[in-house]
Amino acid sequence: MTTLADQLTALGLRDTAAHLDDVLALAIKRRWSPTQLLEHLVATEQQERTRRSLERRLARSRLGRFTPMTDFDWAWPKRIDRAAVEAVLRLGFLAEARNVVLVAAQGLGKTMIAQNIGHAAVLAGTHVLFTTAAHLLLDLGSQESTRALARRLNYYTTRGLLLIDEIGYLSYDARAADLLFQVVTRRYEKRSLVLTTNLPFSEWPTIFPNAGSAVALIDRLVHHADILTIDGDSYRRRVAEAQRKPSRPSAEA
């Protein structure tokens, strides 16, 4: 049995090898025919491979921990197009290689929505990568050779869905703008992008001052894009203020 389990493992049938004794006992108990046994093995191996594939995609997505959309307070923002948000969560934009841009001030849930979009895409079988603008540009800008830069650009441009968070919180030089432009251009009309920003496009030149590619970058992003704007006050600030309020004195006090 040990040799058989090793042979099954060598063939890639890891789940069968790990549970060989249980599978054979179940087959005897239920008096399966050879065909039924094989059908059971195929079904369990497919389920296990699907599970492992999902785990790998989730790990590689770098989505981290996030709040699910079921906990999103739709009543808090002063303006949000719920139907549009729910539409992008259904991932129809992926088939058309469209982009999604979430524009909102800090604390209104744009990162949370982006992470939920990414998670839905992972569950749908898409290879996803979530990163911040700062990390992406630092990574690309630190490459010491043309070949190394080409490899990193390929890494960011070949993901099925790339999510870039927090564009607008920091300013970057012209080279950073050019690097982001390369990522956007390589994905243009081929693979979707999801971006979050705290600034309207009219203020993007402040992110990349003196960068000649800024206008072209915006043009490529919005040409095929769903732009979702959220207005209101910071939800995190509301929670923090509520926590700071002193509790009511007890009756005894």
The pLDDT of residue 253 is 41
pLDDT higher than threshold 80 for residue 77 = yes
Domain boundaries, the chain: 2-60, 69-238
In the CATH scheme, what is the code of domain 69-238?
Answer: 3.40.50.300
Tokens read off for 246:
């002193």
Written as one letter, the residue type at 93 is F
Count Cβ atoms below 10 Å from residue 196 Cβ, excluding itself: 25
> Which secondary-structure segment (H or E) carries 92?
helix 92-95
pLDDT tens track for 128-180: 999 999 999 999 999 999 999 999 999 999 999 999 999 999 999 999 999 99
pLDDT higher than threshold 80 for residue 238 = no
pLDDT higher than threshold 70 for residue 240 = no
Separation between Cα atoms, residue 88 and residue 83, nearest integer Å: 9
Length of the chain: 253
Separation between Cα atoms, residue 127 and residue 132, nearest integer Å: 17
Q: What is the pTM of this model?
A: 0.83
